Structure 1
Amino acid sequence: METTTSALDIPVNYILGRCTFANWDEEDEPANTTLSILNVSYVVKERVGPWWKGACLRRIRHKLVLRDVCMHMRSGQINAILGGSGSGKTSLLDCIAQRAEGTMSGKVYYNNSECTPDLAQNFMSYVMQADRLLPNLTVREALRYSAQLRLPGNASNFDIEEKVSKVIIEMGLKNVADHRIGGSVIRGISGGEKRRVTIATQLLQNPKILLLDEPTSGLDSFTARSLMASLANLAHQGGKIVLLTIHQPRSEIFRMFDQELGYPCPTYTNPTDFYVDMASVDRRDNERNEESSGRVKELTDAYAASMVHKDVVYEIIEDTMKPTTGRQLFAQKFTHYRPQKSSFFRTLFTLLGRMTLNVFRDRASYLSRVFLLSLFVPFICVFLGRLGTNQTSVQDRIGLLYQSSQVPTFVAALNAIGLFPPLRDLYYREGRDGLYGCTTFLLAYILHILPFTVISTAIFCSVPHTDHFLHYCIIILFMHLFGEIMSVLLMGAFMNTALATSNASIILSASGLMASGFLRNLEKMLPVFQWAAWGNIFKYAGEILAANEFHNLKLNCKNNGTFCFTSGDAYLALVYPEAVDNMTRNFWAVTGFTSATFICVIAVFKIRGIPNLS
């Protein structure tokens, strides 16, 4: 097993000291909150070799990310984990929050009770590095929707508004509370204010422990210092444990720490930069690698043999091995108490309302949802202008039907690929917090897009050109819905939107070419394609559209020695035999394929799980 020496082998509380902002009374409730990390090690698996060798042929390497990390924190403290990139800072937070995806050993204790995923979700909040916010909501709206998801199911609207107003004031967002958050296209609040919104979202549950991964990353020095002051105030005034990772803080922040380990910082040097360098391995060449590895090993060995390490371990063991009093027993029962979550329907309608408001605020997205499909109407009019009852009209009708089956799926795919990824990423973040599952999220998304799908289909079908107008509209509706669901399935399988777009285009194009029968008679295709067509929605939709268009259609046939169709039914008998008799079966098949694809989407999201987005 390969191992790597991490800066986290040396807890930053020993190298840099600990910043304690309040001396809470032991009898006060906030002071009873403790977080202990005892001999935590973390190993991850890596597959070595090119991706094209697959999962079976690539060698598996075990990488030691953390080794015997010990920390002990109490209420009223803000603690910093300092280290360079790749030193294991985020991995330590993942272990504490019970979100580790590798193999973890050691113990994490909350109030002297061994921490579990349920316990972590109840009393810890984890603020990840990237902000996942919907750009078209205001700060207050984003927090209100989040409160409806995070607060217990019996929380009233008054309780929700009161909580939202409180965290807005706590995080200094009062002046921008009614401003849009904004994104890459729409200008909104600043980057520092977005960070504050993300933190405020986690504070809605009033966590005892607040974990933050690089909260000052990407912020200017003034904004970073202001944010750190707010976090210090949360620890001081709110009696919380605040634990954050940081890789390059301002030198004045370092003044909060006061211990060193035989490596005094040179004059006029940023202390934090200096100590990150001291605790990092330089792999630029063998000589530097050997020298820096020796220095880090010296530091880790010195810490392991120091009284500081022994005192921390002794303190943790002493706290966890104390006899349980009646008051402590009650506190432990309360610790494991899980408040009632928001109900299924409240969660569903909250997600639905948030998605709808977000798209209504974005004019381009809203117009795309409603009118993008209708842009094809002029092409329908071109086809209709040429339609008649002569023999050439047969080919025109086939072209019209082929486009009618293909265009709705592609338009739906374009809409989904443009609008779904931000909602998916927000689900990943909130799903990690245990707020709701993928079934609730996907059902809310389907309910969200359904009205837009119906309206855009009605506009698309507004030019009547068939006797069975209702049948035509139903098939267009199902194909539009199928295209969106298929795209969502691919975006659940692939995080890369460009990759999902490419696969959606290939699948929809190949399916229409292979199974619809409009471009090539199915009976003249290779047997493997004929069998594959039975498992393709385009086969059944194509038969419905063809039967709907050609059944009982009379055609002019001027017999001049060439073959001609005397009626539309003659064409159906040649290309789509039994299509008329199988109309009911085909409608059920289209409905079944659409429903089955949605079930596959749920299965893909469940199998893939929730990736640990930064």
Structure 2
Amino acid sequence: MTVNVEVAKAQHNESMVLLEWKSLTVSVQSYRLWKWPTKEPCEAQQILKDATGAVQSGDLVAVMGASGSGKTTLLAAVSMRMMADVTGSVLINGRIVSQTQMKRLSGFVPQFDIAISSLTVREHLTFVSKLKGVRLATTRRVIDELNLGKCEFTRISHLSGGERKKVNLAGELLTEPDMLFCDEPTTGLDSFSALSVMNTLRRLAVDCGKIVICTIHHPTSHIFECFTDIVLVKKGEIYYQGRTLESSAFFASINCPLPLNCNPGDHYFKLVCDYDQDDYSGDENRFNEQKIVRVSHIENIAKKCSTVEYGESVLTKILNSNFQNACWLTQLRLLLHRSLLDSIRNLREYVIVMVLFLASSITISALYFHITPTSQTAIQDIRGALFLMVCELLYTLGYTVFYVFPQELPLLRREVGERMYRLSAYYAHKALLTVPKAFFESFLYVGIVYACVQFSTGFATYIGIATVCSVAGLLAVAYGYLLSCLTGSMELSIEYANIIFLLYGLLGGLYLNIQAFPISKYFSFFFFASEGASVYYWRTVGNITCDQVGNTTCLADGYAVLEDYSYGTTLDTVYFNYLLLAAELLVVHFLAYLSLRRFVNGIGFY
């Protein structure tokens, strides 16, 4: 019997985890809008100062403090999800760990819902599990443990606030972490849903032996009772840490007793939010009380560290294991599948956008209806129809992608930061998704104009014009991605695009003599599409009646029209343009990818 007890105790110790953080300081660089004429460097601002603490398996910790006090910064720094200048050390069972090792042992649940809302709960968790290399049996078990079975096939957008929080929590529990960091898990929930979420977290901590650390604002008395420990944060510093059951007696001993019938959470919250009493220079009693609190804080940490008996074999095995996520091609396939599901679920919105998009093609068709190249006056009309068709198509394709990356940046930063997939796989899947979309919309748009204007040059000409517009459209989308990734804002992208696309439009060949711009014209996707469409159309046009008198130049056939616009006259010109388009497409996408990586790896946390 004694042997069995000793074995059970040894197994328990092997599973125990002690998390410590020592002298954590987080600094961010402040920036001046105007640096001239001063040349003084900008000073770094400390948003977390010399934070020290410790928690162990079975603890459910409440991190409390005023808004802007540094609660989330502390959580991100301890979980090593902070992308800033962090000094100090984080230890697990007395061993300093790297950021990669911390991610293997912990999960981070953000404050806001970060998921594709059109997916069902099962689809979302299956996607996460496949990327993290988790078996589907584990996914099934997590769904059952969090009581998500009743909404398993419900879209995330149709879930209640509490159910969405549990879905975020489920995504982190798939890898069975020893530590969970939850940023304000009760924000936006009613009291019943908030208590349900906290009971789930308490069960994970107490029954499953995990470390759960939560930032929280104004917990109700029932929610406060769920916590085993509290950490009070004040102006970027840890004011106090201790056991929840012992805190009331301690603060009563320094003349800060808990009022009768008062919510303990409100009482402790007031202690760290009363900024009017920060100046202790004239109050010796207040200064002594502050000193006692600091001593008690250090003693509580030391007591927690000394009472934990932990083993090393299991932890060492996890930290030294060669954890493998899905390969790059699998990541690409899963990302494509998720985006296709999202597109199918939002088909109604896409149809509405397409109807508005095609309205301009109908307008062009009405303006240039039934024009044939039988006279000199018709040449200008056909030129205008071709160029206007190209401009409207490319403008639309380029402008419709400005919202993509700014809208998905929070999700992208989180999933890439957690190493669910590589950023290159994400960008590649976005670029690949634009190919069928650009070809479908270009062929449909050009087809409407081609049919209504009645270009009488055959079906092969339509295929050629639509193809060159599609490829040029891909370049327009690439430029849209580049501007979006450079600015990180849809509004700024539009402002920059108004200037850049205008310049590129002038180089299209209708407004300026492109012979004066022999090199710069090749940067314009309007030029590629306009020249290609013109070559495909005008090279098939034979005799044109010269009905003009005076000094007006007579363009006798399609080749003369092409030469008048300084365009090429053979298909070899178009084929050469295709090569340039392909090269420029790769270069612009690569620059966009580098710009996106700068935003994803920016300062902050995910």
* Alignment CA distance shift 1:54-1:272 (3 Å): farther
Aligned position for 2:425? 440
1:254-294 residue CA offsets vs partner (Å, 9 max, x unmatched): 34523143222333443323322321363xxxx77647998
1:343 and 1:362 map into 2 onto residues whose CA distance is: 29
Aligned position for 1:9? none
Letter in 2 for 1:235: A
User: If the length of structure 2 is used for normalisation, what is the TM-score?
Assistant: 0.84
Question: Within the alignment, does 1:309 sit opposite 2:298 as a pair?
Answer: yes
Aligned position for 2:234? none
Q: CA deviation at 1:79?
A: 0.8
* Aligned equivalent of 1:38, options 1, 22, 46: 22
Q: SS in structure 1 opposite 2:185? A: coil
* Aligned equivalent of 2:74, options 81, 84, 92: 92
Aligned position for 2:550? 561
Aligned position for 1:520? 512
Q: SS in structure 2 opposite 1:582? A: helix
Letter in 1 for 2:63: I
Q: SS in structure 2 opposite 1:265? A: coil
Q: SS in structure 1 opposite 2:55? A: strand
Checking the alignment, whether the CA contact within 8 Å between 1:30 and 1:240 is kept in structure 2 is no
* Aligned equivalent of 2:257, options 247, 264, 268: 264
* Aligned equivalent of 2:209, options 215, 239, 242: 239
Letter in 1 for 2:92: Y
Q: SS in structure 2 opposite 1:134? A: coil
Aligned position for 1:472? 465
Checking the alignment, whether the CA contact within 8 Å between 1:512 and 1:538 is kept in structure 2 is yes
User: Identity across aligned pairs (percent)?
Assistant: 23
1:36 and 1:509 map into 2 onto residues whose CA distance is: 57
Q: CA deviation at 1:314?
A: 7.2
Structure 2 counterparts to residues 282-301 of structure 1, below 5 A: 282=275, 290=279, 301=291
Q: CA deviation at 1:120?
A: 1.4
2:278 and 2:514 map into 1 onto residues whose CA distance is: 65
Question: Within the alignment, does 1:575 sit opposite 2:557 as a pair?
Answer: no
1:363-404 residue CA offsets vs partner (Å, 9 max, x unmatched): 224425766654444245332413332122222222222223
* Aligned equivalent of 2:503, options 492, 502, 510: 510
2:188 and 2:286 map into 1 onto residues whose CA distance is: 28
Checking the alignment, whether the CA contact within 8 Å between 2:555 and 2:561 is kept in structure 1 is yes
Aligned position for 2:493? 500
Checking the alignment, whether the CA contact within 8 Å between 1:180 and 1:189 is kept in structure 2 is yes
* Alignment CA distance shift 1:384-1:122 (3 Å): same
| Structure 1: runs of 5 or more not aligned | 1-23, 153-158, 183-187
Q: CA deviation at 1:350?
A: 0.9
2:598 and 2:69 map into 1 onto residues whose CA distance is: 30
Letter in 1 for 2:486: A
Q: CA deviation at 1:171?
A: 2.0
* Alignment CA distance shift 1:191-1:530 (3 Å): farther
Q: SS in structure 1 opposite 2:42? A: strand
* Aligned equivalent of 2:474, options 481, 503, 514: 481
**Range with greater deviation from structure 2 (191-200 or 349-358):** 191-200
**Range with greater deviation from structure 2 (108-117 or 501-510):** 501-510
Aligned position for 2:3? none
Q: CA deviation at 1:429?
A: 1.6
1:9-53 residue CA offsets vs partner (Å, 9 max, x unmatched): xxxxxxxxxxxxxxx956326742221112222222222x4x355
Aligned position for 2:438? 453
Q: CA deviation at 1:358?
A: 0.9
Letter in 2 for 1:337: S
Q: CA deviation at 1:316?
A: 4.6
2:321 and 2:424 map into 1 onto residues whose CA distance is: 26
Checking the alignment, whether the CA contact within 8 Å between 2:476 and 2:525 is kept in structure 1 is no
* Alignment CA distance shift 1:443-1:288 (3 Å): same
Q: CA deviation at 1:232?
A: 0.5
**Range with greater deviation from structure 2 (269-278 or 224-233):** 269-278
Q: SS in structure 1 opposite 2:50? A: strand
Aligned position for 2:240? none
Checking the alignment, whether the CA contact within 8 Å between 1:368 and 1:415 is kept in structure 2 is no
User: If the length of structure 1 is used for normalisation, what is the TM-score?
Assistant: 0.83
* Aligned equivalent of 2:585, options 582, 589, 594: 594
2:494 and 2:359 map into 1 onto residues whose CA distance is: 21
1:330 and 1:552 map into 2 onto residues whose CA distance is: 76
Letter in 2 for 1:113: R
1:161-196 residue CA offsets vs partner (Å, 9 max, x unmatched): x222222222222221111111xxxxx111221111
Structure 2 counterparts to residues 114-513 of structure 1, below 5 A: 114-151=96-133, 159-160=135-136, 162-182=137-157, 188-255=158-225, 256=227, 257-258=244-245, 259=247, 260-261=250-251, 262=254, 263-280=256-273, 282=275, 290=279, 301-306=291-296, 308-310=297-299, 312-313=301-302, 316=305, 328=312, 331-367=315-351, 373-382=357-366, 383-417=368-402, 421-462=406-447, 463=450, 465=455, 466=457, 468-513=461-506
Aligned position for 2:239? none
Aligned position for 1:551? 539
Letter in 2 for 1:445: K
Q: CA deviation at 1:206?
A: 1.1
2:531 and 2:87 map into 1 onto residues whose CA distance is: 60
Q: SS in structure 2 opposite 1:279? A: helix
What CA RMSD, in Å, does the superposition of the two structures yield over aligned residues?
Answer: 3.1
| Structure 2: runs of 5 or more not aligned | 1-7, 228-243
Structure 2 counterparts to residues 67-78 of structure 1, below 5 A: 67-78=49-60
Size of the alignment, in residue pairs?
A: 562
Aligned position for 2:596? 605
